[in-house]
Structure 1
Amino acid sequence: MSGLEIRELECFLVLAEELHFGRAGERLYVSQSRVSQLCRSLESRIGARLVDRTSRRVRLTPLGERFLAGLRPAYDALSATVEEARTDAREVGGRLRIGFQGTADARLMRTIAAFQEAHPGCVTEIVEIPFADPFGAVRRGEVDTAIVLLPVAEPDLVLGPLFSRQRQTVAVSKRHPFASRTSVTAAEIAQIPLIPAAPPAPAYWREAHAPALTPGPPVRTLQEGLTLVAAGRGAMLLCRPTADYHGRRDVVFVPVDGVPDSVLGMVRHRDGETARVRAFGHALDAADRGVPEPA
């Protein structure tokens, strides 16, 4: 691939269709000699002839035929990708409704700001979605996309970029024995009541965020859960940024060893892909990799 020139490939594709240097030059808006030069340059890179030239006809060599069969779909895919990016740049306007669970943390807000700067024609709306219903707002069309806690195993939803991998903490009442600890283990928190989300959150999702032998009372909102924690009715697993954002004097957040990190992901409905949603996904992916989003 070193030094490969897209113009040489385009010239070969046109020549393979026309089988005539003059007509190929007309389509490419170059001279016949330029077509010949580009073709020879490509053959030099490959190390073999792709085209047989005589005074009467032009035809592909057997290698040229095989090269054409592999090049055409790859070139079409590349062209489609470029055109999709151009379309996104032209069409990212209107309104994008973004749902979030629990906390729109600093990283998410910076991403939204970067997206807004790159696409000033698109107005963003930020909507809090219930802790106990991570996927409902997307399904009902109340938001175009949502930032939710993993896991996501919904056949009608598409999981986009993953980001914000964070160590988990357990929220306990300041009177709880764990409150004075610098950390606890996964085995220890499995022995205490953990407050789960209530339905309609799927069972697999509720169990992932409250893996306890004895579940606590289910809740619909994060604030409801923290209130029960403060009252000593159970504990909650929360990522570090959420713990920092919702800090309160009657609740202590203790790091947990041995549990999977908390991870956020962008979801959309399988039928809900738009230029705005794609562009926001690119912004999230760029933010997670620490690179600027292309304007």
Structure 2
Amino acid sequence: MSGLEMRELECFLALADELHFGRAGERLYVSQSRVSQLLAALERRIGARLVKRTSRRVALTPLGERFLAELRPAYEGLASTVDRARAAARGVEGTLRIGFQGTADARLMEAIAAFQTRHPACLTEIVEIPFADPFGAVRGGDVDAAIVLLPVAEPDLVLGPVFSSERQTVAVSVRHAFAGRASLGAAELAGTPLISATAPAPAYWRTAHAPSDTPAPSVRTLQEGLTLVAADRGAMLLCRPTAEYHGRRDVVFVPVEGLPDSVLGMVWHRDGETARVREFARALTDGSAEA
């Protein structure tokens, strides 16, 4: 590796693509003779021919083919690293994709507004993620970070700011025995069928949001759950802002005493932390401190 010149590698990659010394030179903005010099220097460094040239054609040698297969991904990875460093040096730019579960509440929207004010060169996209898959969009790279209901106990995810602690309510049909109550105690839910999320939501997460041993349907989306509630197939726990947002005439939302508050948290993948993610986490933290 001593004295390795990036220009020699770039020359070889361009020549491997073009299989023509003149076109490779045009691509690199150098003369054809300079391409020959750079290739010769690389071949001396390696100790064998990488390219064979006749009066009619240019082709890679078998060693050249193997070298190309290993060099290209390594070079592209290095180029990506440099590009990311340049972006970080310029500041927070590009696009930040934020997923949210249930309802994009006021605290989230305030954080987005603050982030946009601080970083006008970064576009923020807001994406709703499935109720039954709180972590899939982050793992799949569909979003850079997500605002999800706690608990979060995923070793590959980072839990950032925690906010919006809200009282729990239970959604029941207008025909349900609880519909006329001003409030309920947590113990009264023990024998109530509570609609839960389906997999891939983890079992611990599903249990936290449906703490009942009584069998009940499971759903993929919040709307599916509320539809089953309206049909009197079970009850469903929701935080107060989500209950208010999804109000409907055939469903009643009754406050529940004695349950832990519903809490939101920002999560991102351990391998996906960027300056954009960190700055958005700071906007959420600042908003929580001001609340």
Question: Could you state the TM-score of these two structures normalised by the residue count of structure 1?
Answer: 0.68
Q: Show CA shifts across 1:196-246 (max 9, x none).
A: 000000000000000012131000000000000000000010000000000
Which residue in the other structure is 1:50 paired with?
none
Name the amino acid aligned to 2:108: L
Deviation at 1:271, TM superposition (A): 0.5
Whether the 8 Å contact between 1:196 and 1:215 is mirrored in structure 2 is no
Name the amino acid aligned to 2:163: F
Which residue in the other structure is 2:273 paired with?
273
Q: Show CA shifts across 1:159-198 (max 9, x none).
A: 0000000000000001111111110011111210000000
Q: Distance in 2 between matches of 1:163 and 1:197?
A: 22
Which residue in the other structure is 1:246 paired with?
246
Which residue in the other structure is 2:185 paired with?
185
Where in structure 2 are there 5+ consecutive unaligned residues?
1-86
Q: Residues 88, 182 of structure 1: CA spacing in aligned structure 2 closer, same or farther, 3 A cutoff?
A: farther
Name the amino acid aligned to 1:182: A
Name the amino acid aligned to 1:181: R
Where in structure 1 are there 5+ consecutive unaligned residues?
1-86
The percentage of counterpart residues that share the same residue type is 76
Q: Distance in 1 between matches of 2:246 and 2:90?
A: 39
After superposition, the CA RMSD in angstroms is 1.3
Q: Distance in 2 between matches of 1:104 and 1:252?
A: 21
Which residue in the other structure is 2:255 paired with?
255
Whether the 8 Å contact between 1:95 and 1:125 is mirrored in structure 2 is yes
Which residue in the other structure is 2:288 paired with?
288
Q: Give the match's secondary structure for 1:252.
A: strand
Q: Give the match's secondary structure for 1:182.
A: coil
Structure 1 residue 223 and structure 2 residue 185: aligned? no
Structure 1 residue 208 and structure 2 residue 213: aligned? no
Name the amino acid aligned to 2:158: V
Name the amino acid aligned to 1:140: G
Name the amino acid aligned to 2:91: E
Which residue in the other structure is 1:151 paired with?
151
Q: Distance in 1 between matches of 2:120 and 2:216?
A: 46
Whether the 8 Å contact between 1:96 and 1:144 is mirrored in structure 2 is yes
Whether the 8 Å contact between 1:171 and 1:236 is mirrored in structure 2 is yes
Which residue in the other structure is 1:14 paired with?
none
Q: Give the match's secondary structure for 2:96.
A: strand
Name the amino acid aligned to 2:249: R
Q: Distance in 1 between matches of 2:152 and 2:102?
A: 17
Name the amino acid aligned to 2:227: T
Which residue in the other structure is 1:51 paired with?
none
Deviation at 1:108, TM superposition (A): 1.0
Which residue in the other structure is 2:63 paired with?
none
Q: Distance in 2 between matches of 1:113 and 1:106?
A: 10
